[in-house]
Amino acid sequence: MASRSYGQYCGVTTAVEQIGERWALLIIRDLLVGPRRYTDLKQGLPKIPTNILSTRLKELQEAGVVRRVPVMHCGLVYELTAYGRELEPIVLALGRWGFQTMGDPDPEDVVTADSLTMALRTAFRPDAASDADYELHVGDVALRVQVEAAALTVTQLSPPAPPVGGRLPGGEPQLVFAATPGIRHVISGELAPQDAVDADVLQVVSGAPSLLDDFARSFHIDAPSHRQVRAS
């Protein structure tokens, strides 16, 4: 295994040796949402081979990033250690960085509940957020998105996952809407919410469409000023 060493004595190198292997950071991304079972992770990462998943989980435990916890009612879950949770700002920053060059989705690309949850966290602007209670649908994924006092709470409705805090969201959402991947143009500010509705990128199921403006203010990632040049 020393053959995989980068041969340098440096903090960045150490970090990359611990979490730089293929799939590792995506496992961590999902675990940042909450503890997950092996099967949950496999479903959230549809293209990961099962042997890679178990290998990575072992390596991440070895590195002190992930912990294996037995759960009383049949089963066990993987969860981040305190050390692993320190990666949250880094993963969020990486998500913001990558967002800027996201193109259109491949036909085979999926949006999972955990990745969408983290995407909302990357885009959340506490200082610009107004209190609101949304229900967001993207493909098969349904999320309850609650903003209160500059704090974001995301609960997965479908597929259902236990809320992190332990409480289920009460009451009715003020706005229920569905989005296509084109919503990224709304998040980047290139497309106004009303125009997105007109272009069928967003669809209001119930509630006041004007709340979409609040949503767009609360969840925003600036488009890159340096016009990205990409060879196709």
Partner DNA sequence: CCGGATCCGAATCGATACTG
Partner DNA sequence: CAGTATCGATTCGGATCCGG
Judged by the rule CB under 8 A, the positions of this chain that interact with a copy of itself are 2, 5-16, 18, 20, 22-23, 25-26, 29, 45-47, 62-64, 81-83, 86-87, 89-91, 93-102, 105-106, 108-112, 115-116, 118-119, 122, 181, 221, 224-226, 228-231
Tell me which stretch binds DNA (CB under 7 A): 16-24, 138-146, 166-174, 222-230.
Answer: 16-24
Gap between the Cα atoms of 188 and 158, Å rounded: 26
Q: How big is the site for DNA, counted in residues (CB under 7 A)?
A: 23
Helix 24-33 vs helix 113-123: crossing angle, to nearest 10 = 80
Please list, in sequence order, all residues whose beta carbon lies within 8 angstroms of the beta carbon of residue 80, skipping any fewer than 6 positions away: 28, 31, 32, 65, 66, 67, 87
- Sheet of 175-179: strand order equals 151-158, 141-148, 132-138, 175-179, 202-207
The closest of 91, 82, 156 to 119, measured between CA atoms, is: 91
The entry of a copy of itself, DNA, none near residue 72 (CB within 5 to 8 angstroms by kind) is none
Give whichever of 27 and 142 is closer to DNA, judged by the CB atom.
27
Residues that bind DNA in the complex, under the rule CB under 7 A: 1, 3-4, 21-23, 37-40, 47-52, 54-55, 57, 68, 75-77
